[in-house]
Amino acid sequence: MNKITGLRILLSITILATLSSCGILISSTSTPTPDWQPFPTYINDIPTSTAPKYGHYTPSAKFDFHLEFDYPSNWLLTEYIDEIGLPDLFIHDPRFPTLPTPFPSDHHPTPNDFGIIYVFILPSKPGQTAESEFASLKASYNQEYHIKVLTDYKTTIDGQDASVLEYQQEPIDLYISLMFERRILFMFGKQVYEILFSVAERERGGEFEQGYEYFLKSLKIVP
């Protein structure tokens, strides 16, 4: 298994049941016809920045992504295009490679509570808006036994209206401690972007969250 596949499993195992119910990570496309072929995946592990403190991310030529930003130079970034052609950007704590089994072939990474940021475009649906996706997400999370919704509010991402949901997630599956998570949804063109930030509750305000705040303030939407 390659590194990005392991990270997708790490994310999906802990939130798959919830996201399935609101259609966030699972495509709603119809059953493939006999002529259907999966979109060729694209994986690009971005080298650690050589900048002394902060690096600057711009999408690579093959990556149809309309965001750029600054980030701590020791963060690990990976561009990924899935089988239906949707781009995902994985950003994770530099401690991930220190796990005894960070991305093993048996699909069971070592449980951890390291910070992650996951930026992705939601599968398109008729009449889709950031507000409709947010309402579905909030309603679903309010019914999950292992999730405690804390608050929701509005913000802006480079001038675009965005909705924010904050919640705590109990240490089930691959988490080893109570996690704080924040999801931001906004629309650019006809696409809904979602930014997931996850960090251990006991590490709130720490180095990874400080880096996230810097990243968030620097986000720019590019044509």
The reply to whether 72 falls in a domain is yes
Q: The domain that contains 198 carries what CATH number?
A: 3.40.1000.10
The reply to whether 209 falls in a domain is yes
Q: Per-residue DSSP letters for 58-70? A: ---TT----EEEE
Q: How confident is the model at residue 43 (pLDDT cuts 50, 70, 90)?
A: confident
Mean pLDDT across the chain, nearest whole number?
82
The reply to whether 119 falls in a domain is yes
Q: Range of 183's domain?
A: 3-26+38-221
Q: How many domains does the chain have?
A: 1
Q: How confident is the model at residue 108 (pLDDT cuts 50, 70, 90)?
A: low
Q: How confident is the model at residue 177 (pLDDT cuts 50, 70, 90)?
A: very high
The reply to whether 117 falls in a domain is yes
Question: pTM score > 0.95 for this model?
Answer: no
Q: What is the pLDDT of residue 92?
A: 87
For residue range 118-153, list pLDDT tens digits in order: 999 988 888 899 999 999 999 999 999 999 999 999
pLDDT beyond 60 at 20: no
The reply to whether 32 falls in a domain is no
For residue range 55-103, list pLDDT tens digits in order: 999 999 889 899 999 999 999 999 999 888 889 999 989 888 888 876 5
Q: How confident is the model at residue 10 (pLDDT cuts 50, 70, 90)?
A: very low
**Helix/strand/coil (H/E/C) assignment for every residue in 121-138:** ECCCCCCCCHHHHHHHHH
The reply to whether 33 falls in a domain is no
Rounded CA Rg of the chain: 17
Q: What is the pLDDT of residue 13?
A: 37
pLDDT beyond 60 at 6: no
The reply to whether 103 falls in a domain is yes
Q: What is the pLDDT of residue 105?
A: 42
